[in-house]
Structure 1
Amino acid sequence: MLAIISQIAIGATDLVAAFLFLFGLKRMSSPATAASGIRVAGIGMVAAVLVSFLYVFTIDAAARPHLIVNLVLAVVALAIGGGFAWIVGRKVAMTAMPQMVAIYNGMGGGAAGGIAAVELFGNRATGTTHLVVTLLGALIGAVSMSGSVIAWAKLQGVLGAPLRFGGQRALNGVVFVAALAVGGWMVFTALSGVPPVLPVATWILIFFGLALLFGVLMTLPIGGADMPVVISIYNAFTGLAVGFEGYVLGNPALMIAGMVVGAAGLLLTLLMAKAMNRSVANVLFSNFGEAPAKAKPGAVTGTERETQASDAGIQMRYASSVIIVPGYGLAAAQGQQKLYEFVKLLLAAKVQVRFAIHPVAGRMPGQMDVLLAEAGVPYDLIFQLDDINADFATTDVVLVIGANDVVNPAARTDKSSPIFGMPILNADMAKQVYVIKRGQGKGYSGIVNALFYKPNCDMVYGDAQAVLIKMIEAVRGLGAAAA
């Protein structure tokens, strides 16, 4: 009777958890409800984890003593992992959020791969479908794990420039095909009775080794400008791996959560690739930042003109309309609070102020939206590229803070540029542009920005937060002088 009650409780909780995942994801689609959506999905996850302990009552009584050890280990693992994540999550800086998301996503892929490893080493994967799905989850999870670790290392600065060498794509292809071949051989020998030549455990280790190696090789040559898309891709991979292993375990909550995450990650990846006017294959298998071999890079004419922060602040105070384009430099300087303080001064002076967000601004999907939300910027002031791009031509002043490729007019005019054809924010079409930048030089992607040399563009060099403080002081000084 206890076993039946436990089965019913598990099934009902899994159903409720799946609903909470979907409902939470729906609420995450809007900045106004995203926080509550995360909490709702979190409740679903906690419920799914806790109810899994009821499986102890559905197992044969003779096997329960051995299960006690596993239950203790599970509780210890949850305490250590949950405690560590809680502490790190509360302390992590906004600039470190992309790498935190990357490494935690990699842990999800690793967990899926771990489930697959237990099934394979324990010889529990029986039947063609069961074995194939287990191997698919293992392959995708391992690739996501090792690839996410490399993405973390790039974002953290542990690894430098993209690693590229001759024959790299061919090597990647050979490793991937080899992983598929080993997996196919494992299925064939398991179902046909043909001797596997090497011990089964050896084949499993070779399979995982090739999958992990492919994730590393696939990510090493990818440039920093593509990191938002890469993070999104590995997020989709992890979701798919979790969904496959949910099928292996017969766990509906894992299947639904994994497939929802996988589908959402895939759609986000496609949308971001479209925002860069590139295919996903181009992101993964091309050397971003290198001009075409036959193309002659267009010459950038003019000089960068420097102005003072106070002059730029006063100019915006007397403008009728201002559009602000935030980039990673704003996050690096942790200047979002000072930016909103400056915006409130402009709004009080009856200046129309709006924020323009490019889909791939920052180093992970949605980073700029989160940054502004953290500062308390009202959602009705934040606009996406398609909704605001036509307004730049009639705007008095555009303030660009730490952004580079997303406002580079070379994307429209220079066919030799690696970003040619990428939709950009039309900041250069405004009457006046001010760019806050830490110093002269190229952006994260290594591409010279033609905007900085336009006659309507002035550079304000310095840390974004320090510059914004000077702008605030200049605008407040106007009020004090008037009084």
Structure 2
Amino acid sequence: MELNVLTLIYLLSSITFIIGLKNLSHPATARRGNLVAAAGMTLAILATIFLYKDEDGKPLHNYAWIFGGLIIGGIAGTFAAKKVKMTAMPEMVSLFNGMGGACAALISVNEFLHVNKHFHSSSADYQKILVDNNFFRTELIIIYAGLIIGSVSFAGSMIAWGKLNGKVKDFAFKGQHLVNLAILAAIFIVAIYTIFFELNKTTFIDLASPLFFLVLLLSLSYGILFVMPIGGADMPVVISLLNSFTGVAAACGGFLYNNKVMLTGGILVGAAGTLLTILMCKAMNRSLKNVLIGSFGGSAAGAAGGNGQAHGGVYKEVSLSDAATVLNYANKVLIVPGYGLAVAQAQHICHELEKMLTDRGVDVKYAIHPVAGRMPGHMNVLLAEADVSYDLLLEMEQANDEFRSTDVVLVLGANDVVNPAAKTDPSSPIYGMPILEVEDARMTIVNKRSMKPGYAGIENELFFRSKTSMLFGDAKSVLQQLVGEVKNL
């Protein structure tokens, strides 16, 4: 009866995951979706602790270790989430995603050691497995899959975390792609040899452990090397891809433990992450192969991107008072938020400026590029924190339709996502990436700290266009002064 109750709870929890994921598709319901899914996960964890019984009918007994881990992890996660700034949110996502990958890999390690220990304890058990090794071969496939995918996700996420916080720099060497492919091939060759050829031999026990940990080492190395050369505007895609890896690895753990809720959760995360990766690649007009092999956004790309002199090196500035006057008397204003807005923590004062202009009869909306910031949906989360109405957020396609009828575009800390070189310069590393076509507006005001290139490391020819004016300074300080200037008009 208890097993039926546990299965029912797992089914209920799986439903909450689906409902939560559905609610995450819109900013207005995202918070509720998180709460629903979290409630389902809490229910599944408690049900597993108190209702699960093993094959011998014995319940879990190591409650001190279980609740100790839950308490320590819960406290650490809560403090980390509350303390993190919006600018560091992508780093936290990468870090937490890496922990999920490590957990999945450790499950595979634990299950392999458990099975190996069982074989060593009894030659009869070993002979029984050899007679009917199809079941064990299937289990080995799942163990290796969880190990490889989880290890790649962990190592890659740690490198992504380091690159996002500036501690790890883009690194590439000649022939690195060939080295990466060689390591990947070695991983599959060793795993396939162990599972399909060595299993039927009496030497399996002696060779299995060294080969297994060789695969672990190679997988960690591959995770590091395949993320190291990727940088710039491709980081949101990489984070999304690694997130899908973690989901698939968790699903492997669900197979191993015959745990339906773990399997469902892993499949949902893997599928959602994969779809998001595809959508983001489409938004950048790039294939996933180009993202992983092209090293787009790295230092090399930056070197190829040219400099201000390639565009004439002439730009014009606008004063705060002139910018405030233009915004105040405009009929329609579109605000383009970027990472610079997040760095300055200026989303609240930006919302204040938006409300002030709206009260004066100006039609104000926000243009959101799908890969703006350092993670998928970064700008949406940033503006939601400031209570910006979701109805004011325009996706890229909608915004591009409205730029031609816009009087003023205010670009706040965005760079690569408004660079016309993506449309006009075939030699540019970002050529072909859809952008926010702010140059179509009657006037563009760009707020930046300096003329330095953006995260992709390439110069932005928009800054030298005749309809563009630069407004230098920290986004928060500039917006505060703009608010003051508008109040005085």
Verify same fold: TM over 0.5.
yes
Match 1:191 to one of 195, 199, 216: 199
Match 1:119 to one of 111, 114, 130: 111
Aligned residue number for residue 328 of structure 1:
339
Q: Give the residue type in structure 2 aligned to 1:401.
A: L
Q: Give the residue type in structure 2 aligned to 1:94.
A: M
Aligned residue number for residue 459 of structure 1:
470
Q: Give the residue type in structure 1 aligned to 2:61.
A: I
Match 1:253 to one of 240, 256, 261: 261
The list of structure 1 runs, each at least 4 consecutive aligned residues, that deviate by more than 6 angstroms after superposition, is 292-298
Does residue 47 of structure 2 align to residue 51 of structure 1? yes
Residues 462 and 135 of structure 1: CA distance in aligned 2, closer, same or farther (over 3 Å):
same
Q: Is the 1:189–1:195 contact (alpha carbons within 8 Å) kept by the matching residues of 2?
A: no
Q: Percent identity?
A: 44
Residues 14 and 437 of structure 1: CA distance in aligned 2, closer, same or farther (over 3 Å):
same
Counterpart CA distance in 1 for 2:224 and 2:295 is: 16
Match 2:244 to one of 232, 236, 243: 236
Match 2:403 to one of 371, 381, 392: 392
Q: Give the residue type in structure 1 aligned to 2:222.
A: F
- CA shift at 1:190, angstroms? 5.5
Match 2:455 to one of 438, 441, 444: 444
Counterpart CA distance in 1 for 2:49 and 2:480 is: 54
Counterpart CA distance in 2 for 1:206 and 1:352 is: 61
Q: Give the residue type in structure 2 aligned to 1:347.
A: T
Does residue 83 of structure 2 align to residue 91 of structure 1? yes
Q: Residues 379-435 of structure 1: CA distance to partner in whole angstroms, max 9, x if unpaired?
A: 111010012211101110000011111100111111101111111111011110001
Aligned residue number for residue 318 of structure 1:
329
Aligned residue number for residue 481 of structure 1:
none
Q: 2:310 is paired with a residue of what secondary structure?
A: coil
Aligned residue number for residue 35 of structure 2:
39
Aligned residue number for residue 407 of structure 1:
418
Q: Residues 298-345 of structure 1: CA distance to partner in whole angstroms, max 9, x if unpaired?
A: 931351212222321221011000000000000000000000000011
Residues 10 and 417 of structure 1: CA distance in aligned 2, closer, same or farther (over 3 Å):
same
Q: 2:88 is paired with a residue of what secondary structure?
A: helix
Q: Give the residue type in structure 2 aligned to 1:299.
A: A
- CA shift at 1:197, angstroms? 8.7
Q: 1:68 is paired with a residue of what secondary structure?
A: coil
Does residue 55 of structure 2 align to residue 101 of structure 1? no
Aligned residue number for residue 436 of structure 2:
425
Residues 292 and 441 of structure 1: CA distance in aligned 2, closer, same or farther (over 3 Å):
closer
Aligned residue number for residue 160 of structure 2:
151
Counterpart CA distance in 2 for 1:56 and 1:20 is: 20
Does residue 283 of structure 2 align to residue 275 of structure 1? yes
Q: Is the 2:159–2:228 contact (alpha carbons within 8 Å) kept by the matching residues of 1?
A: yes
Counterpart CA distance in 1 for 2:315 and 2:252 is: 53
- CA shift at 1:133, angstroms? 1.7
Q: 2:237 is paired with a residue of what secondary structure?
A: helix
Residues 43 and 292 of structure 1: CA distance in aligned 2, closer, same or farther (over 3 Å):
closer
- CA shift at 1:247, angstroms? 1.1
Q: Residues 220-249 of structure 1: CA distance to partner in whole angstroms, max 9, x if unpaired?
A: 000122110010000110111111221111
Aligned residue number for residue 337 of structure 1:
348
Q: In structure 1, list runs of 5 or more residues that go unmatched.
A: 479-483
Residues 331 and 133 of structure 1: CA distance in aligned 2, closer, same or farther (over 3 Å):
same
Aligned residue number for residue 382 of structure 2:
371
Q: How many pairs align?
A: 469
Q: CA RMSD in A?
A: 2.0
Aligned residue number for residue 138 of structure 1:
147
Q: In structure 2, list runs of 5 or more residues that go unmatched.
A: 117-132
Q: 2:394 is paired with a residue of what secondary structure?
A: strand
Counterpart CA distance in 2 for 1:349 and 1:269 is: 41
Match 1:300 to one of 311, 329, 352: 311
Q: Is the 1:402–1:436 contact (alpha carbons within 8 Å) kept by the matching residues of 2?
A: yes
Counterpart CA distance in 2 for 1:449 and 1:11 is: 56
Q: Is the 2:446–2:469 contact (alpha carbons within 8 Å) kept by the matching residues of 1?
A: yes
Q: 1:466 is paired with a residue of what secondary structure?
A: helix
Q: 2:311 is paired with a residue of what secondary structure?
A: coil
Residues 55 and 49 of structure 1: CA distance in aligned 2, closer, same or farther (over 3 Å):
same
Q: Is the 1:127–1:191 contact (alpha carbons within 8 Å) kept by the matching residues of 2?
A: no
Q: Which moved more, 1:452-461 or 1:201-210?
A: 201-210
Q: Is the 2:422–2:435 contact (alpha carbons within 8 Å) kept by the matching residues of 1?
A: yes
- CA shift at 1:191, angstroms? 3.0
Q: Give the residue type in structure 1 aligned to 2:402.
A: D
- CA shift at 1:59, angstroms? 5.1
Q: Give the residue type in structure 1 aligned to 2:42.
A: V
Q: Is the 1:7–1:58 contact (alpha carbons within 8 Å) kept by the matching residues of 2?
A: no
Q: Is the 1:233–1:266 contact (alpha carbons within 8 Å) kept by the matching residues of 2?
A: yes
Residues 196 and 310 of structure 1: CA distance in aligned 2, closer, same or farther (over 3 Å):
farther
TM-score of the superposed pair, with normalisation by structure 1: 0.93
Q: Is the 2:333–2:407 contact (alpha carbons within 8 Å) kept by the matching residues of 1?
A: yes
Q: Is the 2:302–2:457 contact (alpha carbons within 8 Å) kept by the matching residues of 1?
A: no
TM-score of the superposed pair, with normalisation by structure 2: 0.92
Counterpart CA distance in 1 for 2:37 and 2:174 is: 45
- CA shift at 1:72, angstroms? 2.0
Q: 1:192 is paired with a residue of what secondary structure?
A: coil
Residues 340 and 101 of structure 1: CA distance in aligned 2, closer, same or farther (over 3 Å):
same
Q: Is the 1:309–1:468 contact (alpha carbons within 8 Å) kept by the matching residues of 2?
A: no
Q: Is the 2:336–2:366 contact (alpha carbons within 8 Å) kept by the matching residues of 1?
A: yes
Q: Is the 1:10–1:54 contact (alpha carbons within 8 Å) kept by the matching residues of 2?
A: no
Q: Is the 1:6–1:54 contact (alpha carbons within 8 Å) kept by the matching residues of 2?
A: no
